[in-house]
């Protein structure tokens, strides 16, 4: 799931002209003097080829007001993509919506942000993760992240409120879900070449196309069951060429690579 409109900064376009999967609203500016510019890749939509998720099926899912998705890393911390925010600092401009599959539901939980931490050294190429501190905890289950590459295989689940077709620019009020199989770096590079950063990014997608994340899905989790049958996040929706094109996998931040950095950053919020 990627976001749709990108603030096409020169920085982000230097390496890869792909869609960042953030939504048309773009990244949120933070109230701090030490902000760094956000980079913009190109991205895909709500889940293309997806099916409606049931209420409570993925209670850790979060919709962010800048047009991105995220997951509850802690009850008061959301894990999302670095390209969804403009830098690190204090801000109350982001609203996290959780607790509902339908964003129009009266039961939606809405909490403002207080602070954002963007991945240190983020320049639009890799390191696509960020944390958003919330003003109060959301009493819902959190999503554990992978700390090793053990689960970077098999079939993953993606979910989001993004576009349901490339260039749709509409998004979805209902949470959609889909299954996407792992794509090895060697195979993914047949399309993306040197644009793919092996070791920092993981690919997934259906070879025939038709199923993918897209604009508005950026920052949302890619997850699967661990050996204990619990959901485990292995990726963050990041970028890709278009949405659901044949032989064009979606590219996700490889969470296990940054697990330690994410943990340390969360502890400092």
Q: Which residues are catalytic?
A: 83, 128, 218
The token pair at 122 is 């983020």
Question: Quick one: how far is CA 83 from the chain centroid?
Answer: 9
CB count in 10 Å sphere of residue 241: 21
What b-and-e string marks burial along 209-239, b requiring 16 or more CB atoms within 10 Å of the CB?
Answer: bebbbbbbbbbbbbbbeeeeeebbbbbbbbb
The end-to-end CA distance of the chain, in Å, is: 26
- Listing DSSP states for the chain in one string gives ---S-----HHHHTT---EE---TT-PBP-SSTT--PPP--B---S-BT-EEPPTTSSTTEEEETTTEEEEEEETTEEEE-GGGBSSSEE-S--EEEES-SBTT-TT-EEEEEEEEEEPTT--SSS---EEEEESS---S---EEPSSGGGSSSEEEEEESS-SSTT-----SB-EEEEEEEE-HHHHHHHHGGGS-BTTEEEE--TT-S-B--TT-TT-EEEEE-TTS-EEEEEEEEEESSSS-TT--EEEEEGGGGHHHHHHHHHT-
């Amino acid at each position: 799931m990627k976001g749709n409109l990108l603030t096409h900064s020169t920085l982000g376009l230097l390496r890869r002209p792909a869609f960042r999967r953030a939504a048309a609203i773009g990244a949120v500016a933070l109230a701090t003097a030490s902000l760094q510019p956000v980079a913009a890749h190109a991205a895909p939509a709500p889940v293309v080829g997806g099916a409606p998720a049931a209420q409570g099926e993925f209670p850790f899912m979060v919709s962010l007001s800048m047009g991105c998705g995220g997951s509850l890393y802690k009850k008061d911390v959301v894990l999302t993509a670095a390209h969804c925010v403009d830098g690190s600092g204090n801000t109350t401009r982001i609203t996290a919506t959780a607790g509902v599959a339908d964003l129009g539901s009266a039961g939606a939980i809405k909490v403002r942000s207080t602070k954002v931490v963007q991945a240190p050294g983020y320049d639009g190429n890799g390191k696509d993760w960020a944390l958003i501190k919330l003003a109060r905890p959301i009493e819902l289950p959190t999503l554990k992240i992978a700390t090793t590459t053990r689960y970077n295989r098999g079939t993953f689940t993606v979910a989001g409120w993004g576009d349901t077709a490339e260039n749709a620019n509409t998004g979805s009020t209902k949470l959609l879900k889909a299954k996407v199989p792992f794509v090895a770096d060697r195979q993914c590079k047949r399309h993306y070449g040197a644009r793919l950063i092996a070791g920092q990014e993981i690919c997934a997608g259906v070879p025939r196309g038709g199923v993918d994340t897209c604009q508005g899905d950026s920052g949302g989790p890619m997850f699967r069951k661990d050996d204990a049958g619990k959901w485990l996040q292995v990726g963050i929706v990041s970028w890709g060429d278009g949405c659901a094109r044949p032989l064009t996998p979606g590219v996700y931040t490889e969470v296990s690579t940054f697990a330690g950095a994410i943990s340390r950053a969360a502890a400092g919020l």
